[in-house]
Amino acid sequence: MEKYFYLAYGANTHVEHMRQRCPDARYIANATLMKHRLVFRGVADVVYDKRSTVLCALWRITYRDLTRLDWFEQYPNLYGRRAAKIRLNAKDDEALFYYMQGARVDEYEPPHAYETALREGYAQCKMPTEQIDHAIKSAKNSAHREKRYRGKWLAKSRHESPAGWVPYARTVPKQLHINFDVSDKKVFN
């Protein structure tokens, strides 16, 4: 059975929820994703930021788990996947992580239930919650904060509609390759 490594920074840090979604998944350790920052767009996402890091939970998953994660993350429509090169027990491998598609700048706070599940997941993986707190604060102070209009997330545009809000246009970002060594729990380029 083919197996993969997977880096989780959001909802999939919650051990019980991962067990339900991906019954074959096994939590390995925590790893730091360098040059990225946690943000909230209603749900968790990571963006490139050369001055920041994101603490992640490293999971070992099967192909069946990967297909379930793709469904859960709405891959490839909402989230895309990237591969990070890793070294685990002196062996080179890759770990997958999801990122939100499009050149987005919008940030907004997560729903309370989602935030609670994240905090529980971080506690289960013995990860500090400072990056969650920082991302929520950043979302609250974001100049690109989105508003909810008629049940859909929409972003403000220079060319406003009569209601003042129009759908956000998406573009595909370039592929990034990130290296990290789990033995050092550091990610490097």
Place of tokens 């987005």: 104
Amino acid making up residue 70: D
Residue 90's pLDDT band (boundaries 50, 70, 90)? confident
Beta-carbon contacts of 146 under 8 Å, excluding residues fewer than 6 positions away, are: 41, 106, 107, 108, 153, 154, 155, 156, 168
pLDDT given for residue 168 in this prediction? 37
Beta-carbon contacts of 17 under 8 Å, excluding residues fewer than 6 positions away, are: 11, 117, 121
Going 151 to 117 to 97 to 147, the CA torsion angle's sign is: positive
Please give the C-alpha separations between residue 54 and each of 10, 122, 148, in angstroms, as whole numbers: 11, 12, 28
Residue 160's pLDDT band (boundaries 50, 70, 90)? very low
Q: Mean pLDDT over residues 94-114, rounded?
A: 91
Let me know: does 106 contact 145? Beta carbons within 8 Å.
yes
pLDDT given for residue 84 in this prediction? 81
- Residue 184: strand, helix, or coil: coil
Let me know: does 84 contact 178? Beta carbons within 8 Å.
yes
Would the pLDDT of 23 be above 60?
yes
Q: Mean pLDDT over residues 156-161, rounded?
A: 39
% pLDDT > 90, the chain? 58
Cα gap 14→12, rounded to integer Å: 5
List, for residues 38-83, the tens digit of each pLDDT value: 999 999 999 999 999 899 999 999 999 999 999 999 999 999 999 8
Strands 91-100, 3-8: pairing is parallel
More confident residue, 177 or 122: 122
Cα gap 7→10, rounded to integer Å: 10
As a whole number, the mean pLDDT across the chain is 80
Tokens of 153: 């997330």
pLDDT given for residue 183 in this prediction? 43
Q: Which of 51-55, 88-92, 106-110, 112-116 is least confident?
A: 88-92
pLDDT given for residue 145 in this prediction? 66
pLDDT given for residue 189 in this prediction? 35
List, for residues 114-123, the tens digit of each pLDDT value: 999 999 999 9
